[in-house]
Amino acid sequence: MKEQELKKVKEYKYGFTTDIESIRAPKGLNEDVIKFISNIKKEPSWMLEWRLKAFKRLKNLKEPNWQKPKYPKINYQDLYYYSAPKSASEKPKSLSEVDPKLIETYKKLGIPLQEQKKLSGIAVDAVFDSVSVATTFKDELTKKGIIFCPISEAIKNHPELVKKYLGSVIPITDHYFATLNSAVFTDGSFVYIPPNVRCPMELSTYFRINDSETGQFERTLIIADKGSYVSYLEGCTAPMRDENQLHAANVELVALDDAEIKYSTVQNWYPGDKNGKGGIYNFVTKRGACRGKNSKISWTQVETGSAITWKYPSCILQGDNSVGEFYSIAITNNHQKADTGTKMIHLGKNTKSKIISKGISAGQADNTYRGLVRISSKADNSRNYTQCDSLLMGNKCGAHTIPYIENKNLTASIEHEATTSKISDEQLFYCNQRGLNQEEAVSLIVNGFCKEVLQQLPMEFAVEAQKLVGISLEGSVG
């Protein structure tokens, strides 16, 4: 048993559980639970009303079922919607007040929270189950007028910003999971960059699911005011559990005139074991609005974890000359499934979008790229370039590319390229003959395949991501 555990930990090194006393909401989904969440977070009444409105709407919505990876019916009444370490029930005022057990947990995950051991130039907000437990570099950011805090704090301290922008990109009526999130969201990060400020460091949120039978419903809102710039990165891990856990986040980005937001994700939720038992259902809604002219939103995602990944980080290109980008690596191994891609909605004139998607399938996994490019009648001279490449390893996995293109403007230019390839025995033999073992060879070839996307990551994370790409595919050839 012990050995088995060890072997498992080797396969997914973030699979440990932190033994910590937690406060939970009563099980189930109902108005009382929503009131409980709002109450424990000491939210103003407008927020509770907002949540209840979403919940009311949810009752009339049906769970979507058009995606390729199917999953057993989720019993929404059998989940905990709020779980937080008891020690964090009063948000610690400084890092010295943070429960050492939590500090230790993040240390194990490679995220130092003590600022003296700071991750060079990166401010971190650490979210543990349903609460933010620590945010680093707050003072330094505050000097520049940047707000980087848990969203639960922003609701209390910056209600004017939250009221104005929350739900403005993903309306509470949007779709089942987005609406569910609006009703029960617990924590996440809030970022506001004032006009003409270039955020001096990477902002980063580290999400950790710890408790069992809980869903994590985080909410992130990033606003880049006129002429500002911010680069933001999120990372995610969870313990290994035999049950499937739901992660349904909403992320909203707003870029005003001449502003730029770069949003990177390294998603490494527990993928389930080799036989497909357990793992996270990663059903996430991410959407950015290029609201101002000349604004830019760039999504980069490296998706290696989760039993099922189902998400389409999208850009609504409202402002004239705005730019949307989507760079994606989705790796599925063993029994993992992914249905991911993007939506580029061109509304303004001279808007540009670029989609680079790299899907890698191994084992018995199934990987789908699904993307929408929509050019509206007013979006004169808009351009889109899409490139979807799939790489297959072995002969039991699947790769699918489903592009949707809707064009209502004759001046638009739309390009779509797609390739499917397989790592050949010849390529592996060639690498082996030069001294590389099977895993090194696969890692080299796959990293080469994803290079265009990896290059988009902030440098500090690119190296980590490269390693992760290699590790995710270990044992997939042999």
Q: Which two tokens stand for residue 153?
A: 């704090």
Closest by alpha carbon to 266, among 109, 449, 33? 109
Tell me the per-residue interface mask from 419 to 458 with another protein, x by CB under 8 A, - otherwise. --x--xxxx-xxxxxxxxxx-x---xx-xxxxx-------
Closest distance to another protein from the beta carbon of 443 (Å): 10
Residue number, 413 or 437, with CB nearest to another protein: 437
Q: What's the closest the beta carbon of residue 303 comes to another protein, in angstroms? A: 19
374, 344 Cβ separation under 8 angstroms: yes
Write down the H helix ranges in 88-158: 100-108, 138-143, 151-157
CB nearer another protein, residue 89 or residue 419: 419
Give the Cα separation of 224 and 190 in Å (integer).
11
Smallest separation, CB 436 to another protein (Å): 6
419 exposure class (CB count in 10 Å sphere: 0-12, 13-18, 19+): exposed
Nearest distance in Å: CB 298, another protein: 21
Nearer to another protein, 67 or 447 (CB): 447
- Rounded to a whole number of angstroms, the minimum distance from the CB of residue 330 to another protein is 16
14 to 53, contacts with another protein by CB under 8 A?
none
Can you point out the beta strands (E) in 304-412?
308-311, 314-317, 323-332, 337-340, 343-346, 352-361, 366-375, 383-392, 398-407
Task: Examine residue 471 and tell whether it contacts another protein (CB under 8 A).
Answer: no
Q: Report how far residue 94's alpha carbon sits from residue 103's, in angstroms, rounded to the nearest whole number.
A: 12
Query: Three-state DSSP class for 454?
Result: helix
3-state secondary structure of 39: helix
CB closer to another protein, 72 vs 448: 448
**What's the closest the beta carbon of residue 418 comes to another protein, in angstroms?**
15
Minimum distance from CB of 470 to another protein (Å)?
12
Cβ-based nearer residue to another protein, 276 or 475 = 475
By the 10 Å C-beta count (0-12 exposed, 13-18 middle, 19+ buried), 470 is classed as middle
Contact string 380-419 vs another protein (x = CB under 8 A): ----------------------------------------
User: Could you tell me how many residues of this chain bind another protein (CB under 8 A)?
Assistant: 23
Q: Which is closer to another protein, CB of 149 or CB of 331?
A: 331
Report, in Å, the least distance between residue 448 CB and another protein: 3
Of the two residues 413 and 421, which places its CB atom closer to another protein in the complex?
A: 421
Between 67 and 427, CB nearer to another protein: 427
DSSP single-letter state for residue 181: H
Least distance from another protein to the Cβ atom of residue 300, Å: 17
Packed helices 176-184 and 31-40: angle between N→C axes, nearest 10 degrees: 50
Judged on CB neighbours under 10 Å (0-12, 13-18, 19+), 117 is exposed
What lies within 8 Å, CB to CB, of 364 at 6+ separation is: 276, 334, 335, 396, 397
95/477 with CB nearer another protein: 477
Residue from 317, 320, 332, 410 nearest 365 by CA = 332
Q: Using the minimum distance from each CB to another protein, give the nearer residue, 157 or 437.
A: 437
Least Cβ distance, residue 338 to another protein (angstroms): 20
Angle between helices 438-449 and 459-472 (to 10 degrees): 130
Report in angstroms the alpha-carbon separations of 222 from 111, 359, 452: 22, 28, 25
**Binding-site ranges for another protein (CB under 8 A):** 421, 424-427, 429-438, 440, 444-445, 447-451
